[in-house]
Structure formats: C-alpha cells, structure tokens
Structure 1
Amino acid sequence: MSAHMEQLIAEFEKFGARIRQAEARFAGVSDLGERVAEVESVATSPDRGVTVVAGAGGMVTDIRLAPEALRLGSAELSATIMATLRQAVAGAARQQAGIVDEAFGGAFNVDASEHVRQAQAAAFGTWEGDLASQDETSSRRPPDASGDDDFDQDTIFGR
C-alpha cells in the first residue's frame, strides 16, 4: 500500500474517532429536557416563615407560609416572600446551568454555571461564593431589601 493511501486511511480513522466522540457527547441530549424539567429549587426565609419552590425556567410551583409568617406586617411579609422567591428562582437557574455544563460545557469550553453566578452576584449585590454556598442548603438568606429591585433590563446572564 502506498504511503499516500496509508495517510488517507489514518486521516479517515481520526475523522471516524471524532464522529464517535461527538456522538458520545450528544447521546445524552435526549434526556437533557427531562433533566431540566425535573429542576426544583426550594428556598426558605431565615425565619422559616416562607418557603418557595421554583422549577425549570424559574416557574414558581409552590409558596408556603408558616403561621408565624402571617403575624408579620404586610410590607415585611411581602418583602420576605419576594426575597425568598428570588432565591428559589436563582437556585433553579443555577441548577439548569449545571445541567447544561454537564451536557455541553466540556465540548464547547463554556461554564454556564459561572456566568449565572456572576450575573446573580451582580444583581443581588452579593459575593459569588454566597450563591455557591446557597446551593448546598435549602435555607436561603434574602438579599438586602434596600437594594434596587428593578431587574427589567437584566437577565440571569448579565447585560
């Protein structure tokens, strides 16, 4: 066999190996939607009076109020609900980013989780480590209620 033919065969085998690698990486794509649909983030206010559950896409699926929460004034209860809601939705976004990273992060050299943490840290005025530690516990600390809550122009990925 000629050297040229051997080189062509070697190149073809490399190409075939790359195709098999790509197929292996994308084999889990079919269950990606299922995994995202199963996302659930539970946040509880520091006083344990308010619990919010958020799912995929940040959809709030449940809000539970303990009897002691009903003793709060309307403004304080509203602020506690909103702060807890933000934490639950933010947790769901971080979970979704983690699923995307597991499926595609290595293949495309993208760290969606880090981008989401940075954007949330900027939006909430917190340190990124606080957000990472919140993922390890179901109890969430609400952001400072005195901050600007107008996020209409922001997304979880930043401006």
Structure 2
Amino acid sequence: MSAEFDQLVTQFEQFQARLRHVDEQFADVAAMQAELTALEATATSPDRSVTVVAGPGGAVKDIRFTDAALRQSAPALSAAVLATLRQAVAEAARRQAGIVEAHVGDDMHLMDQVLETQAELFGTTPEELRASMAEQPARPAADEPHDDHDDYGQGSVLRREEPQSRAAPPARGNDPSGNRFLNLYDEEDR
C-alpha cells in the first residue's frame, strides 16, 4: 500500500510541475501579447517630408506630412508616401518577428523568413536588410526630449475614430407600430 501511495504522490507532483510550466507559458504569452500590442515602427522619407507609423500586423497608425511634402507634385508625394509606408510596415514586421522569437524561441527561424520575403519584395538581400536593421537609430521614448522643429504640421492625415454613441434602448410596453417582436419584455413579463 505504501508503494502505491508513493507512486500517487510522485504522479501528483509531476502533474503540479506540468501545471506550473503551463502557467509560466501563459504568463509569457500575455507578456508577448502586451509587447505586440504596444509595437510601433516609424519610417521617415529621405527628405523628412513624410512620416509613417505602423503597428502590429502592418496596421498603419499615422501618416504625417511637413509643409514641404504638400508643395510636392501629386506623383512625387504619392511615391514618397508609398515608399515610406513600405519601410514602416516592413520594420513593424521585423520587430514583430523579433518579439515572437524572443518569447517562443527561434526554432521556427521566423526572422530569417521575414527577411527573405522582404529582400525578395525590395530587390535586396537578407544580409543587407539585417545590416540596415543594425544601423537604425533608436527612437526617443515619448517622455524623452527630441527635436520637434519638423513637427509635421501637428496633424495626422488619418482620421481619428470618434467614439460612437449608443442607441437609446427601445421603450418598454406595447409598440404602437405593431413591431412587438422587437420588444423583449411585455408589460405582463415584469
């Protein structure tokens, strides 16, 4: 009987260890999700007239223009916006891959896959992309001082979503229009 009890205790301890391991994995996933949610990559055109901010999944969060950008011809501005947009989205994808690899491990070689795909799209090599990643200066944090002489007109070309107001709930009681099916509660249900 004692041997069976010891075996049950050992199995229970193994089970508890597996539960702790699962808890650790879930905590790491939550940290990874938080980092991915906060992810932002900013790219600026060579003439500094266009700035694009991209988020996770390549979502465009902001596009800003200087006054000089608005003096460009439409085709030149369009080309600058597209090139800068591609840079920001590509950087966001690389950062996203880096975050995932940091939490999951690089067994999948996710960064290599991203760099190979981007190199093919941009007509360059993965090594050149890796080198350009190392050359990029770190952006100042939001609370650090930085040069605002080019403030991009203090505005965004992306419309901010306004909070939507909720529709008023339908009045209780009998609906004079005859649409009783929309009313979940009749007076007698109260």
Q: Same fold (TM over 0.5)?
A: yes
Q: Gaps spanning 5+ residues in structure 2: where?
A: 1-9, 139-190
What residue is the counterpart of 1:118 in the other structure?
A: 116
* Contact 1:42 1:138 (8 Å CA) reproduced: no
Could you give the per-residue CA deviations for residues 61-96 of structure 1, whole angstroms, max 9, x where no partner exists? 111111222222111110110010011011111111
Partners of 1:79 and 1:40 lie apart in 2 by 22
- Tell me the amino acid that sits aligned with residue 59 of structure 1: A
Is residue 105–residue 112 contact of structure 1 (8 Å, CA) maintained in 2? no
- Give matches, 1:54-133, under 5 Å: 54-106=54-106, 109-133=107-131
The superposition leaves residues 111-150 of structure 1 with CA deviations (integer Å, 9 ceiling, x where unpaired) of 21111011000011112233224434269xxxxxxxxxxx
Separation of aligned partners in 1, 2:62 and 2:132:
19
- Once the two structures are TM-superposed, the CA of residue 18 in structure 1 deviates from its matched residue by 7.5
Higher Cα Rg: structure 1 or 2?
Answer: 2
CA–CA distance in structure 1, aligned partners of residues 137 and 44 of structure 2: 7
- The residue identity in structure 1 corresponding to 2:111 is S
Distance 1:54 1:77 in 2: 19
SS at 1:48 equivalent: coil
Distance 2:83 2:116 in 1: 18
> Who is 2:38 aligned against?
38
RMSD: 2.9
Q: Could you say which structure has the greater relative contact order, defined with CA pairs below 8 angstroms and 6 or more residues apart?
A: 1
More helix by share: 1
> Per the alignment, do residues 78 and 134 of structure 1 end up closer, same or farther by CA in structure 2, a change over 3 Å counting?
same
Between stretches 60-69 and 114-123, larger displacement belongs to 60-69
Is the deviation greater in 48-57 or in 127-136? Answer: 127-136
Q: Distance in 1 between matches of 2:132 and 2:68?
A: 24
Aligned to 2:143: none
**1:49 match:** 49
Matched positions, count: 136
Paired AA for residue 129 in structure 1: E
Structure 1 unmatched ranges of 5 or more: 1-9, 140-159
d(CA) in 1 for partners of 2:80, 2:93: 20
Secondary structure of the residue that 1:92 maps to in structure 2? Answer: helix
Q: In structure 2, what residue type is equivalent to 1:92?
A: A
SS at match of 1:126: coil
